[in-house]
Amino acid sequence: MENRKKPKVRFQEFKNDWLYCNLKDISDKVTEKNKNNEYTETLTNSAEFGIINQRDFFDKDISNKKSLNGYYIVRNDDFVYNPRISNFAPVGPIKRNKLGRTGVMSPLYYVFRTHNIDKRFLEYFFDSTLWHRFMKLNGDSGARADRFAIKDSVFKEMPIPFPNLAEQKKIGEFLDDLTHAISLHQQELTTLKQTKQGFLQKMFPKEGEKVPEVRFPGFTDDWEQRKLGEVVQIVMGQSPNSENYTDNPNDYILVQGNADMKNNRVVPRVWTTQVTKQAEKGDLILSVRAPVGDIGKTDYDVVLGRGVAAIKGNNFIFQQLGKMKENGYWNRYSTGSTFESINSNDIREALIIIPDVKEQQKIGAFFKQLDDTITLHQRELELLQLTKKAFLQKLFV
């Protein structure tokens, strides 16, 4: 063991330098074959979801049952390296089997069983990016675009931080608590989004009907079918010349498509010195190119590229357009399975069903409050995720 170091962030009761060991010192490669097809559940290692059932991930069986006896057995708490690279895992993910049961995996994976180290500590180390440098220095991602290549004999030499066991456990427990908080916030956010979908189904009329199932007191009149162009002003985008694009936040914000929106809000990404078509703060932004129909709002005055249109509509219209997207209204403008684009006439002629202005305002205000709550939970979740990401880099060396 060598390379004594200390992490940037540390629990105060621990003072000693950390040691390093090699992966081979605290693990053994699993080469246990699935003889006589003793286990039939095929697992996969997903960078995003961890080790899960293959069918759950791909919605079908990829492995051939006849070949399962050549697969490696993966027991509970075994670690698995998947050499497939992705945006989530640029050198491939290493995950721990936490399913509580045994399954099998393709020999393409490197399966290893650990000893003399806290499994949670090691799991979170592999959730960090601190081991990526070793991989990039000793492996190769050039042979196949989707797969990272590193020899087993080299992989086993990976340096692993090795503080005393008490500190390992403390770090694992702390990150477990943070992970649990993230999971709870994710569940709350999912519940809020499902609640909103439920209200959208009940507070807008079903197809062919003129009144919704649930209404605010005092409203009894039928809703009216109108063309969108009859009730809102529409501004189609026109892209500036590309030589006028900048990364200067003092220039005009350019919105070109759904890449410039996140959680139904414009997020400045590209700027321009040339003004073509504009949207004002509070306008709705509709994607008119693939994917057609995505809807957002802008909190800024922006320049509109040709991939979007601005709609001067209220909060009710915003929800109506979101519901149209969810219900597949714009699918009629697709060619085969690929969306191309919609034009100003398509938007103007789109049929919507609306109540009187006062009921629109009431419904719009209700959903705005719900959206604001969802946005708040989304931000809290993202903050927790960023906090965890920062701790993963600072609690290890």
**Residue 17 DSSP symbol:** P
Provide the b/e sequence for 184-206 (b: ≥16 CB within 10 Å): ebeeebeebeeebeebbeebbbe
Q: Cis check for the bond before 291: say yes or no (omega within 30 of 0).
A: yes
The answer on pLDDT for 113 being more than 80 is yes
The answer on pLDDT for 66 being more than 90 is no
Q: Count CB atoms within 10 A of the CB of residue 172.
A: 19
Q: What is the share, in percent, of the chain residues with pLDDT greater than 70?
A: 95
Q: Is 257 helix (H, G, I), strand (E, B) or coil?
A: coil
108 dihedral zone (left: phi>0; alpha: psi -120 to 50; beta): alpha
Domain 17-162: which CATH class?
alpha beta
Range with the poorest average pLDDT among 56-65, 346-355, 358-367: 56-65
Q: What is the domain partition of the chain in residue ranges?
A: 17-162, 224-354
Q: What is the share, in percent, of the chain residues with pLDDT greater than 90?
A: 88
Range with the poorest average pLDDT among 56-70, 107-121, 238-252: 56-70
The answer on pLDDT for 60 being more than 70 is no
Average of per-residue pLDDT values in the chain: 94
pLDDT (tens digit per residue) in 199-255: 999 999 999 999 999 999 999 999 999 999 999 999 999 999 999 999 999 999 999
Rounded distance, CA 226 to CA 219, Å?
19
Longest CA pairwise span in the chain (Å)? 79
Close Cβ partners of 368 (under 8 Å, ≥ 6 residues apart) = 315
Question: What confidence score (pLDDT) does residue 142 get?
Answer: 64
User: What is the DSSP track for 109-166?
Assistant: SEEEEE-SS-HHHHHHHHHSSTTHHHHHHH-EEEEETTEEE--HHHHTT-EEEE--HH
Rounded distance, CA 390 to CA 222, Å?
54
The answer on pLDDT for 62 being more than 70 is no
Instruction: Determine the average pLDDT of the residues in 315-343.
Output: 86
Q: Count CB atoms within 10 A of the CB of residue 291.
A: 12
Nearest to 304 by CA among 366, 249, 239: 239
Rounded distance, CA 206 to CA 328, Å?
14
Q: Is 25 helix (H, G, I), strand (E, B) or coil?
A: helix
The answer on pLDDT for 336 being more than 70 is no
User: What is the DSSP track for 194-239?
Assistant: HHHHHHHHHHSPPTT-SS-SS--TT--SPPEEEEHHHHSEEEE--P
Range with the poorest average pLDDT among 68-82, 137-151, 331-345: 331-345
Which pTM does this prediction carry? 0.86
Question: What confidence score (pLDDT) does residue 332 get?
Answer: 83
pLDDT (tens digit per residue) in 247-295: 999 999 999 999 999 999 999 999 999 999 999 999 999 999 988 999 9
Nearest to 392 by CA among 178, 172, 124, 20: 124
Question: What confidence score (pLDDT) does residue 145 get?
Answer: 72
- The pLDDT-based confidence of 1 (bands split at 50, 70, 90) is very low
Question: What confidence score (pLDDT) does residue 340 get?
Answer: 78
Range list of H helices, 2-53 = none
Rounded distance, CA 194 to CA 186, Å?
12
Hey, which CATH number is domain 224-354, 3.30.70.20, 3.90.220.20, 3.40.50.300, 3.90.950.10?
3.90.220.20
Close Cβ partners of 83 (under 8 Å, ≥ 6 residues apart) = 92, 108, 109, 110, 147, 148, 149, 150
pLDDT (tens digit per residue) in 160-183: 999 999 999 999 999 999 999 999
The answer on pLDDT for 2 being more than 50 is no
